[in-house]
Structure 1
Amino acid sequence: MRSFIVRVGAALTAAVVLLAAPATARADDPGWTRIPCASGAIDRVTASGGLIEVDGHVDCAADPETPNAAFMYALYRDKQAVAYWSTMNGYDLTGPATTNSIRKDLPSGQFVICLVTDYNVRVACDTVSPGRGGTVFTTPLPTDDPLVNREVRVHGYDGGGDPACGTCW
């Protein structure tokens, strides 16, 4: 009987330890703080010299309760949706809108870029197609289009550069 009580006690202790442990974070998310924001636009996309520049805005201001909240640009291609920390933008404290701009290496071929405020919240999307001489053509794409209807994965490392490339995807 004593060994039964010891086993039950050990099992209960293990259960309490498991339940009290913090939830496992997403492997690809070392801490993206988000606030609800579903309005904004990609205002301009240009390319030259192998670089793409994207200007946009979200129609949301920073939440004083969540001062580190941010939004990003995600690249959709080859059935992947990837955002990198280097495309992160914080919300403006003075609101009501927050403007932003990124400058990155121009990916090859056609792709979609979306302004995202959460893993599955696309505020605005543009299809980007290569033009002559390193230019690009853009076409707005509905945020619920099947091309972008998937969760964004956030990665810290852009690839290229040493140790990292601030203008790479």
Structure 2
Amino acid sequence: MELHDSPNPQQMPTPPPPRGVQFNTLALLAILTVASLILAAYFGIGRAFGIETTQILFNGLGQAAYYAPQALVWIAGIVFALQSRRLPRSVARLVVVAFSGLLFTSLLGGLGQMVLIQMLSSGMLGSNNISMWFLAYGISQSLINAFWWVLILMAIFRGRSTATDVTTQEPTDL
């Protein structure tokens, strides 16, 4: 069939639907807004405690490199939970809340660690209390992270119970 023999030469064939995760303008705006708020919090709180801007920047970059693998996994978990059509909404919400909590806790923990070290080095906290402050910091981080992991486990087992309820029903004899 030649080009001039086609029924409607003005109509182009529709392209196939795109594959993979797609970002729209709202998602890009949300990502940039969250990144800006994180930077503003780091610089604002750091400056409030008297930390120099270059010190905040270099400490923040070091912490970002340290937390990057975890943060990528948690962000991927959030994206997969939001994009999954097979998960019930309650399970997806638990996963999003838990991974967001882990992400927020790691950011807040890095900021707390930076402030705690600054307070110790500037003499705001006594040297005899160093172990107590780091112990309190470690215990609080562990308890908060355990809470987020409990939510993830609840989501995993809630998702499995709804998926296995359908498959474990015995067939009825006719």
TM range (shorter): under 0.3
- Structure index of larger Rg: 2
Structure (1 or 2) with the greater strand fraction: 1
TM-score (norm 2): 0.23
- Of Structure 1 and Structure 2, the greater helix share is in 2
- When the two structures are superposed, what TM-score results if normalisation uses the length of structure 1? 0.23
